[in-house]
Amino acid sequence: MAMIQAIATDLDSTFMHHGMTIAPLNSQMVRQAVDDGIHFVVASGRQAPAISQVMAKVGVTGAKVCLNGSYVEDEHGQVLVASAIPRDRITRLLKLAQAGHTNLMLYRKNGVFRYDVTNTLLWHAAFLMHGKGYNHLFKTEARMLRLLATD
């Protein structure tokens, strides 16, 4: 049995360069490690689909620690952790963001709600619903898993 059982990495500016490129040596070494029976784990602030895309580019599968640890899938895509932010806390945070003119992004497993008061979040290209109130957030069972606030 190999002494190393798993390799875990962040993506942005760690496994990947700025500009979203993966060094060929990184891909080669990860594929070789996985072929040798070593587990590959990505831990990132990104959502699971984005991590899966990177793994597909490398040609491997593995566990995903997503949204800064609030959502975790094993190498087969089975959910191990889905730690949601309580609804009452989300409501309070959204009211504070509105009152303080603060940008707020709430992340779900596969989507993002954006409350953007300064138009500084234009770089974000996920599933966006631009600041049209927030009651619709609670009409589904989808849970908010991560929060980002900027001014």
pLDDT of 16-63, one tens digit each?
A: 987 678 999 999 999 999 999 999 999 998 889 999 999 999 999 999
Which structural domain range is residue 35 located in? 6-82
Going by C-alpha positions, the residue among 124, 145, 143, 123 that lies closest to residue 65 is 145
- Calculate mean pLDDT across residues 102-113: 77
Which has more pLDDT, 120 or 110?
Answer: 110
Report yes or no on 102 lying in a domain: yes
**Domain stop point among 82, 104, 127:** 82
SS3 45: coil
Q: How many CA atoms lie within 13 A of 103 on its CB side?
A: 15
Kind and range of the H or E run holding 143: none
Q: What pTM was estimated for this model as a whole?
A: 0.74
Say how many domains are in the chain. 2
Q: What is the overall mean pLDDT for the chain? A: 79
